[in-house]
């Protein structure tokens, strides 16, 4: 393989992209007192927010003051669903538009979040322009509402999702991605990001505990020896990551969805719906984690592979993703998975965050 190709990952042309920004305020009591009442606070922010977004052509924006974590996914139909801990947004960037506010009347939210969903085509190519427009909206809000600066914690999230088994289904066309780091990519497009920022890149995939897998591990499952079942996957995943020189990762099999954080900013935590995993990406030391409930068989095994500092280079994360794909293929080769019928969605994440 040519040196250039080693730093590209070849992804099916029908891969899906998502891009969104989340601006977060932690309001104080004095902040709420600066408005006549709590409802007025939310309504004023929403009015200024949506007015400025209309001017800048940001067509899918939401205000959330319900203390629920927003989760964004691609879907051909538009849905906004609430759980106890999450606010799920399903949308297709090509044609879904909305300006909505979600809050409980007269209840002071611990956090006020502004969610900006990218719309249109070529989201990755237009990501720097989208980010710059969001910065202009935040500048306007700070001026119109006389807010202190910096006030917002701004997080930029980009996802690239594709079926690892696309070729097995006859989808042969691919595109070579370098997957450059966000900071230099934005700087080259005149989108100014503070030097004091945090970045993370990682990949996730999930393996459903299908009937075929239950049959493959029939002895452990019939004996309700779920600890042995999970330990098999933990040991195999750890071994394959080590072979492919991947040092940061996790298997989550406790019924929760993993969310990834930098350990310099956030710590491990969890609830019934979400499992927060924090990684120190500055070190080369191995950080492979396993979280499972040995008393219960889950429906899905969730896996995470995090890019450490040594996985990033001037070319990007293409080589890292080739290592990830090799890891997943090796893992799946040990399992009863029909690649012609079953999808295995790989999701590559790039995040950058800073105070604004």
Q: Supply 265's token pair.
A: 């900013």
- Judge if 42 and 161 occupy the same domain: yes
pLDDT tens per residue, range 215-225? 999 999 999 99
pLDDT tens per residue, range 120-143? 989 999 999 999 999 999 999 998
Q: What is the mean pLDDT of residues 22-40?
A: 93
User: What is the domain range of residue 46?
Assistant: 16-166
Tell me how far apart the alpha carbons of residues 157 and 49 are, in angstroms, rounded to a whole number. 20
- Judge if 144 and 205 occupy the same domain: no
- Judge if 212 and 338 occupy the same domain: yes
Single residue among 147, 166, 185 that ends a domain in this structure: 166
User: β-pairing, 287-292 with 345-355?
Assistant: unpaired
Model confidence at 313: pLDDT above 70: yes
- Residue 232 is assigned to a structural domain of this protein: yes
* pLDDT of res. 270: 65
- Residue 177 is assigned to a structural domain of this protein: no
Whichever domain contains 151, its CATH number is 3.30.70
- Judge if 120 and 32 occupy the same domain: yes
- Judge if 32 and 160 occupy the same domain: yes
- Residue 180 is assigned to a structural domain of this protein: no
- Judge if 26 and 149 occupy the same domain: yes
pLDDT tens per residue, range 81-98? 999 999 999 999 999 999
* pLDDT of res. 25: 92
- Judge if 211 and 333 occupy the same domain: yes
Higher pLDDT, 114 or 315: 114
pLDDT tens per residue, range 2-12? 445 778 999 99
- Residue 190 is assigned to a structural domain of this protein: no
Tell me how far apart the alpha carbons of residues 185 and 126 are, in angstroms, rounded to a whole number. 11
The conformational region for residue 255 under phi > 0 = left, psi -120 to 50 = alpha, else beta, is: left
Q: Domain total for the chain?
A: 2
- Judge if 147 and 207 occupy the same domain: no
Question: Is residue 206 within 8 Å of 300, Cβ to Cβ?
Answer: yes
* Predicted TM-score (pTM) of this structure: 0.92
* pLDDT of res. 2: 47
- Judge if 209 and 320 occupy the same domain: yes
Closest of 140, 165, 162 to residue 151, by C-alpha = 140
- Residue 69 is assigned to a structural domain of this protein: yes
Tell me how far apart the alpha carbons of residues 244 and 337 are, in angstroms, rounded to a whole number. 22
- Judge if 38 and 161 occupy the same domain: yes
In the chain, what percentage of residues exceed pLDDT 90? 88
- Residue 2 is assigned to a structural domain of this protein: no
- Judge if 265 and 348 occupy the same domain: yes
Tell me how far apart the alpha carbons of residues 323 and 241 are, in angstroms, rounded to a whole number. 9
- Judge if 277 and 341 occupy the same domain: yes
């Amino acid at each position: 393989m040519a040196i250039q190709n080693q730093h590209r990952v070849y992804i099916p042309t029908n891969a899906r992209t998502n891009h969104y920004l989340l601006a977060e305020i932690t309001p104080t009591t004095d902040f709420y007192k600066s408005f006549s009442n709590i409802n007025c606070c939310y309504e004023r922010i929403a009015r200024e927010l949506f007015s400025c977004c209309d001017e800048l052509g940001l067509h899918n924006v939401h205000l959330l003051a319900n203390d629920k974590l927003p989760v964004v996914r691609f879907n051909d139909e538009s849905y906004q669903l609430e759980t106890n801990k999450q606010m799920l947004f399903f949308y297709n960037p090509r044609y879904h538009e909305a300006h909505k506010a979600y809050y409980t009347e007269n209840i002071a939210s611990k956090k006020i979040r502004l969610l900006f969903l990218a719309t249109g085509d070529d989201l990755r190519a237009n990501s720097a322009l989208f980010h710059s427009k969001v910065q202009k909206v935040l500048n306007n809000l700070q001026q119109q509402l006389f807010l202190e600066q910096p006030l917002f914690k701004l997080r930029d999230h980009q996802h690239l999702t594709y079926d690892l088994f696309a070729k097995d289904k006859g989808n042969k066309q691919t595109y070579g991605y370098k997957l450059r780091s966000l900071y230099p990519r934005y700087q080259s497009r005149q989108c100014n990001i503070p030097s004091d920022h945090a970045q993370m890149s990682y990949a996730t995939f999930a393996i459903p505990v299908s009937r075929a897998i239950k049959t493959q591990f029939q002895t452990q499952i019939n004996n309700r020896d779920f600890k042995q079942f999970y330990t098999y996957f933990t040991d195999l995943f750890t071994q394959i990551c080590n072979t492919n020189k991947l040092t940061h990762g996790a298997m989550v099999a406790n019924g929760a969805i993993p969310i990834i954080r930098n350990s310099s900013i956030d710590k491990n935590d969890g609830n019934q719906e979400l499992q927060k995993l924090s990684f120190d990406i500055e070190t080369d030391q191995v950080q492979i984690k396993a979280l499972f409930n040995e008393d219960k068989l889950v429906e899905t095994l969730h896996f995470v592979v995090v890019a450490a500092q040594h996985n990033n280079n001037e070319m990007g994360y293409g080589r890292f993703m080739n290592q990830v794909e090799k890891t997943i293929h090796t893992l799946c080769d040990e399992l009863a998975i029909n690649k012609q019928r079953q999808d295995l969605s790989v999701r590559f994440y790039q995040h950058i965050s800073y105070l604004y």
